[in-house]
Amino acid sequence: MKILKKIFRVILLIVLICTLYLGVVIYYGTANDYQPEDKVQLEILGNGNNQVLEKDTFNILSWNIGFCGLGAEMDFFYDGGEMVHPTDELVKKYTEGVTGFLSANDSIDFIILQEVDKNSARTGKQNEIEIIAEVLPGLAYTYANNYNVKFVPVPFTNPLGKVQAGQMNLSKIQPIESIRYAFHSSYAWPKRLFMLDRCFILSRFNLGNGKQLVVLNTHNSAYDAGGELRDAEMPLIKEIMLDEYEKGNYMVAGGDWNQNPPGFNPGLVDKKYSVKVQEKIKEGFFPKGWNIVYDKFLPTNRDIETPFAEGETLTTIIDYYILSPNVEALKVNVIPQDFTFSDHEAVFLKFALK
């Protein structure tokens, strides 16, 4: 009987400690909840040329760099894996790989990045905004948080800790403005306290014809099996893009959409990859004349339930571009790196203004 009482007391003590821990974490998360305005004017930094765009053909690169922590050797607990923090050696390897790739492509007019860490525990608190800006010294840049949590308490035995990450737009020409638009999508409380506050960045550039080229960088919701969050996000993008086009401006939207493009056919993807289909943008979601362009033959994203294994790890296409009717895609292709430095591949687009 005494043994049973001791066991009961130990169980009760454990329950009380866990309850107290959970209460403290939720209180701390609530007190420090990141709640940006719907529209935030972003600071424009760097060394882009302050001039009007006189040409009519441009190129752009979109890449989710996986916070320099999700290269080929990694899995990730959020996606069913075991690893939470990459080792210092892997962070160094992935950071050097990302910056080396970007430096080699510094002639591109526009670069839009997702999952750029700033002072996050998972990547040794390195400031990837400054690191990237240093290897691209001739470009202007803006940055917006989409993940800003003082302490992520999961997994319980090895918490993710502090996370600050976001999206980054870089360009040869200095934009006349860059704005962070908040998506009206979130999980229920208290889960939302520890998840991303999704957004997109909209950057404007003056053209010689009196119009504007508008570049949009998005990172739509993941971990949303029913697609409800993405369904709440896409109408806002559509509304703004259509409005800009009605004004006579040129719209190029790219990023990590976390959903397949309409018409995605896994049978066309290079046979060395295993391919999966997930939720797609609905056919006809954008009016006639609008184009969703992507490389049909190479995947842009891989599952991170396990480290990458060619032919075994499931891959798909979720990184691409949406163009207004007055923009023509001349070339679009994935730049394959076999997911060496990120769980995403970079996507290149050459386009012309009609």
**Could you list the pLDDT tens digit for every one of the 354 residues in the chain?**
677 777 777 677 776 777 776 777 676 667 877 888 999 999 999 988 887 788 899 999 999 999 999 999 999 988 888 998 999 999 999 999 999 999 999 999 999 999 999 999 999 999 999 999 999 999 999 999 999 999 999 887 888 999 999 999 999 999 999 999 999 777 777 777 788 889 999 999 999 999 999 999 999 998 776 678 888 899 999 999 999 999 999 999 999 999 999 999 999 999 999 999 999 999 999 999 999 999 999 999 999 999 999 999 999 999 999 999 999 999 999 999 999 999 999 999 999 999
Pairwise CA distance, residues 278 & 258, whole Å: 9
Sign of CA dihedral 10, 14, 19, 25: positive
> Residues 308-320: pLDDT tens digits?
999 999 999 999 9
> Residues 90-101: pLDDT tens digits?
999 999 999 999
Write the CB contacts of 70 (distance below 8 Å, at least 6 apart in sequence).
76, 86, 94, 304, 342, 343
Peptide bond into 262 cis (omega under 30): no
**Could you tell me how many helices (H) and strands (E) the chain has, helices first?**
4, 17
Is the pTM higher than 0.85? The answer reads yes
Cβ atoms 298, 73 nearer than 8 A: no
Pairwise CA distance, residues 323 & 32, whole Å: 38
Cβ atoms 264, 281 nearer than 8 A: no
> Residues 232-291: pLDDT tens digits?
899 999 999 999 999 999 999 999 999 999 999 999 999 999 999 999 999 999 999 999
> Residues 119-131: pLDDT tens digits?
999 999 999 999 9
Pairwise CA distance, residues 82 & 76, whole Å: 6
CB atoms < 10 A from the CB of 201, how many?
Answer: 27
